[in-house]
Amino acid sequence: MDMVKSEKLKYEYTFETAIDEEEREPLVALKGVDITIEKGMFVAILGRNGSGKSTFAKHLNALLTPTEGTLFVNGYDCTQEELIYKIRKSAGMVFQNPDNQLVSTIVEEDIAFGPENLCIESSEIRKRVDRALKTVNMTEYARYAPNKLSGGQKQRIAIAGILAMEPECIVLDEPTAMLDPEGRKEVIDTVMELNKEKGITIILITHYMEEAIKADKIFVMDGGTVIMEGTPKEVFSQVEKLKGIGLDVPQVTEVAYRLRKRGIDIPQDILSIEEMVCTICQLKSKI
Amino acid sequence: MYDMSIKVENLTHTYNSGTAFEKKAIDDLSFEIKDGDFVGLIGHTGSGKSTLIQHFNALLAPTSGKIYFNGEDINADKTKLKHFRTKIGLVFQYPEYQLFETTVFADVAFGPKNMGLSEEEIESRVKEALTIVGIDESVYESSPFELSGGQKRRAAIAGVLAMKPEVIILDEPTAGLDPKGRDEILNEIAKMHKILGITVILVSHSMEDVAKYVNRIIVMHNGKIKYSGTPEEIFGKAEELVEIGLDVPQITHVFKELKAQGIDVPDNIFTVDEAEKVLYDLLKQVEKC
């Protein structure tokens, strides 16, 4: 079954409060998006600022509803207002700035906020909070104040808060943009573990190409539509196309691309450090 | 003439001194930043980077120790703080949130206006600053809030540049930008470093960005300076950097690994350009065989 299925999804931002007639022209952020994501997948969405990624992500959590077209999340029709809580329970969201998402003064209370609002029994909430803390490796910080934590730790608490609601899908909108290298690694490792071990569908929006190479599938958005989709190897081997729309490729892919252009017989779809090292060793042994 | 721009002597800053929440954020730092340097300041979250840069702009006063700018103690005379704040410009994280005026031009003019400059001088400075950051004259009269994310950020940087600082400090200027926006901003910064001869301090979590632009790196850890040196020297310490929550550029890992496998390559390669050159020389013989 599909976790997400959108067909010709369109969304217009309207500026009803604008005094000037002209400014009331709607801004079309999504111009017919077709995205299908199977349950249990780890998907990355790439695209430049203003390409429509975040607008799409907000639909998955019913923060926005489609202007036209259809969107089903976990089988629920996102155009039906009465399904809004079922949709939000299916797909949780983590945003860029951890400080904007934490609501409580104590870590474990913060994680309990979600399940409390779902009117879950308190003994069950306790269990869920403990489980969520354990999953993100933050058990020892249960009684800490969130403002004493590092950025990576705060994002893991935000993820734990979502986990406590037991969603089948987590949407992360640039969760690592404000973090240092270790914080980025902590968050991505946590997300990968949730995907591999608990089978939670992960939808990751990112500007870090190194994070996207770990996905099962990548969607590239530009100008409000999906312009590329495929495995990381399929997408990143199109170096020129990606650069043309303001994106980038991992450093190793870029080097391989340049060497290839200069006549060296090196594969175009190198994505990781290991692949690069292995390829060079093989080429070298031919000498 | 002083050849150093900023000199820090035994600088310590303790937050909430004398309370149960006392915390030493920076601890007995001493170093110099030379005039015209392009410095990368790296360190994990909580390492003391932000506390340190707020001292350069005199937003925080040292608990002990001194900061000299061109030989003058910036905290010696409180009436001169305003002067130092125009000489050492600070661009905060997400500076676009600080835009507030009705037009782009007025926003950039705010700083110079407060310096009490003449209308003509203000106008020429605003135009110069906006030109350097690559903002077109056609949007001078637009609202700053109509600009794209990358443009907003560049307009905010122009606001600091218009005060003609001798040193500009940028706290994560590329956070949240897409790769193209990131490259554009960094290229503008490199341009102002080159054209204006301005000293730049770049605080960043991106090792790739730091590697590509700066000529000196300062690594902070637990309120102290752990390492300081050229990019070659610093990125030669991959294990040490990872240990303190940092990293080296992806391409540097490739060369370390190649060397470990017995291939004769330098292990301090940290940009794509250098990597291309070295690997091309290494592999071109394969083609000939």
Q: Which of residues 141-180 of B touch A (CB under 8 A)?
A: 148-150, 172, 175-180
Overall average pLDDT of the B242-269 stretch: 91
A124 in a structural domain: yes
What's the pLDDT at B284? 85
Distance CA A52, CA A101 (A): 22
Is A270 contained in some domain? no
Q: Does B25 touch chain A (CB under 8 A)?
A: no
φ, ψ of residue B14 in degrees (nearest 5): -115, 125
Amino acid symbol at A167: P
CB contact under 8 A, A207 and B287: no
pLDDT tens for each residue of A127-173: 999 999 999 989 999 999 998 888 888 999 999 999 999 999 999 99
- Say yes or no for a CB contact (<8 Å) between B272 and A178: no
Domain ranges of chain B: 4-237, 249-289
What pLDDT score does B287 carry? 61
pLDDT at residue number B22? 84
Structural element, H or E, at residue B158:
helix B149-161
Q: Out of B177, B180, B254, name the one closest to residue A277 (CB).
A: B254
Inter-chain touch B179–A247, beta carbons under 8 Å: yes
Label residue A50 by pLDDT band (50, 70, 90): confident
A99 in contact with chain B, both atoms CB, cutoff 8 A: no
CATH code, A10? 3.40.50.300
Structural domain including A40 reads 2-231
- Is B287 in Cβ contact with A273 (below 8 Å)? no
pLDDT at B288 over 70: no
Structural domains in chain A (count) = 1
pLDDT at B2 over 80: no
Residue A242 falls inside a structural domain = no
Q: Is the pLDDT of residue B64 over 50?
A: yes
The yes-or-no verdict on residue B165 having pLDDT over 90 is yes
> Which of A50, A252, A265 is facing B250, going by the closest CB pair?
A252
Please indicate whether, in this complex, the C-beta atoms of A251 and B251 are within 8 angstroms of each other.
yes
In this structure, are residues A190 and A157 in contact, taking their beta carbons and an 8 Å threshold?
Answer: no
Does the pLDDT at position B35 exceed 80? Answer: yes
Residue A191 lies in a domain: yes
pLDDT for B93: 86
CB contact under 8 A, B45 and A210: no
> What superfamily in CATH does domain B4-237 come from?
P-loop containing nucleotide triphosphate hydrolases (3.40.50.300)
Residue A236 is assigned to a structural domain of this protein: no
Contact B275 A255 (CB under 8 A): yes
| Nearest partner of B275 among B262, B257, B289, judged by Cα | B257
Nearest 5°: phi and psi at B42?
-125, 160
Residue B278 backbone dihedrals phi, psi, to 5 degrees: -65, -45
End-to-end CA distance of chain B: 59
pLDDT per residue as tens digits for the range B206-229: 999 999 999 999 999 999 999 999
Mean local confidence (pLDDT), B71-100: 91
State the average pLDDT for chain B: 91
Per-residue CA distances from B72 to B69, B81, B84 (Å): 5, 11, 10
Give the pairing type, strands B224-229 and B216-221.
antiparallel
**Using an 8 Å Cβ cutoff, are A179 and A96 in contact?**
no
Q: Return the higher-pLDDT residue of A43 and B146.
A: A43
A148 Cβ under 8 Å from any chain B Cβ: no
Does residue A154 lie in a domain region? yes
**Confidence label for B159 from pLDDT (cuts 50, 70 and 90):** very high
pLDDT band at B1 (very low <50, low <70, confident <90, very high): very low
- Smallest Cβ–Cβ distance between B45 and the set A180, A248, A273 belongs to A180
